[in-house]
């Protein structure tokens, strides 16, 4: 989802040369690799998908920024507390995705040192969820937007060599910070990275995205320890299902440096996609389309596309392309905005939609993670009030949990 929308409330030779620059010097480190900790469980694809259950996004917090500087209260949400995370867990969610922006907190070349206080805060928030026994997903989020001040992880950027060097250094630091966390911590390479155009992907830019994913996998693995075996999550173009499962240029990264303890027949890479279809229902800030699905009572308030059959076809395409090959799919974001101001039945259809997406994910062995931006009321995605840690949309939460049954 576009960051501005979240913020407003809904929210070849060169590559060979780069490889020598980016990955040179790893050999000594790899030779002295730290071991995998005794508490780390080596889970197969079906096991981890089952354990991750239904997830929830801590949206508009650690990825929020103003003038290129991240800040967890920058977009109007209060400081994240352990009490909020406990409330989310109590509601039945088993996974929390924590989007993170780094932007101006990344220092200059050649070290690209990440601000230590910011990385410590990311760790503290991760610990709120991790210490509750939840699965946690962290990524590099707003850095990949052309539309965000300070954005630099740009597939259409003019100096890809510099971008890739910077990306490698940042992920090396993140991976080192969390190297001893067990299998419940999952790294996601990036968010909705694309060139800003909603037409078919530019092949050269898609090649850059694939290169980022490969650098991510190689870098994390070579920090050794638990990072050599943990599950890693990578997206295709703009986390779009068609552009990821279809023949548009997505290339699965190789996993050359993973631990030899992982059986050759098993994978440790997951594929990320987002689902906000149909957009006129799920995200468009107007009162034109407020109903969804077979239970809709007003045809004029229902989109002409994106109903149950489309949803099934989308999840099925990801299943056929990736899950059947051992690569789990994570629907890292889904949801729909509150349009109660236009239609008093809005939340009924939001619940029906959430249940349908979750149930389809369950059927096709994917992990559904609801997008919550902390905003309640008109055009908001919120399920909880983050100020007083109360539930605001129990009906939607119930629907998600029912979909997982």
Catalytic member of 192, 266, 284, 285: 192
| Residue 131, both tokens | 């210490």
Q: Give the N- to C-terminal CA distance of the chain in Å, as an integer.
A: 27
* SS3 state of residue 292: coil
Catalytic member of 63, 183, 284, 333: 333
* Contact (Cβ atoms closer than 8 angstroms) between residue 248 and residue 254: no
Q: CB under 8 Å to 320, separation ≥6 — which residues? A: 245
Rounded Cα distance, 48 and 185, in Å = 11
Total residues found in the chain within this entry: 405
Rounded Cα distance, 174 and 123, in Å = 10
Rounded Cα distance, 107 and 109, in Å = 7
**Does the active-site annotation cover 132?**
no
**Does the active-site annotation cover 83?**
no
Alpha-carbon Rg for the chain in angstroms: 20
The DSSP secondary-structure symbol of 291 reads B
Closest CA to 235 of 200, 275, 267, 193: 193
Instruction: Give catalytic residues, as residue numbers.
Output: 192, 333
């Amino acid at each position: 989802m576009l960051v501005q929308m979240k913020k407003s409330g809904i929210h070849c030779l060169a590559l060979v040369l780069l490889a020598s620059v980016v990955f040179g010097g790893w050999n000594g480190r790899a030779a002295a690799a730290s071991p995998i900790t005794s508490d780390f469980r080596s889970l197969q694809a079906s096991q981890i998908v089952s354990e991750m259950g239904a997830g929830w996004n801590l949206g508009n917090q650690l990825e929020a920024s103003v003038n290129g500087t991240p800040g967890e209260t920058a977009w109007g949400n209060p400081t994240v507390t352990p009490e909020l995370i406990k409330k989310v867990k109590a509601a039945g969610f088993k996974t929390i995705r924590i989007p993170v922006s780094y932007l101006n907190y990344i220092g200059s070349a050649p070290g690209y040192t990440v601000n230590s206080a910011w990385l410590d805060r990311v760790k503290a928030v991760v610990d709120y969820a991790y210490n509750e026994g939840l699965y946690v997903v962290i990524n590099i989020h707003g850095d990949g937007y052309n539309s965000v001040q300070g954005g630099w992880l740009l597939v259409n950027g003019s100096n890809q060599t510099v971008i890739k060097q910077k990306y490698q250094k940042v992920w090396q630091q993140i991976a080192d910070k969390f190297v001893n966390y067990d299998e419940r911590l999952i790294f996601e390479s990036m968010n909705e990275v694309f060139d800003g155009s909603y037409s078919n992907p530019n092949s050269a830019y898609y090649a850059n995205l694939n290169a980022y994913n490969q650098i991510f996998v190689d870098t994390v693995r070579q920090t050794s320890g638990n990072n050599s075996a943990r599950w890693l999550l990578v997206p295709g173009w703009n986390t779009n299902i068609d552009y990821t499962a279809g023949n548009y240029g997505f290339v699965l990264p190789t996993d050359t440096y993973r631990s030899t303890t992982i059986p050759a027949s098993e994978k440790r890479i997951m594929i990320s996609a987002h689902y906000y279809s149909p957009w006129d229902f799920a995200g468009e800030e107007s009162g034109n389309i407020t109903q969804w699905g077979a239970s809709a009572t007003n045809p004029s308030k229902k989109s002409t596309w994106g109903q149950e059959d489309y949803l099934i076809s989308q999840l099925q395409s990801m299943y056929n392309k990736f899950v059947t090959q051992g690569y789990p799919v994570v629907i890292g974001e889904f949801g729909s905005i509150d349009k109660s101001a236009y239609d008093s039945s809005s939340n009924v259809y939001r619940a029906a939609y959430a249940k349908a997406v979750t149930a389809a994910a369950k059927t096709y062995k994917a992990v559904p993670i609801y997008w919550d931006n902390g905003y309640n009321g008109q055009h908001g995605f919120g399920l909880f009030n983050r100020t007083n840690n109360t539930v605001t949309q129990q009906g939607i939460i119930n629907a998600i949990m029912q979909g997982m049954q």
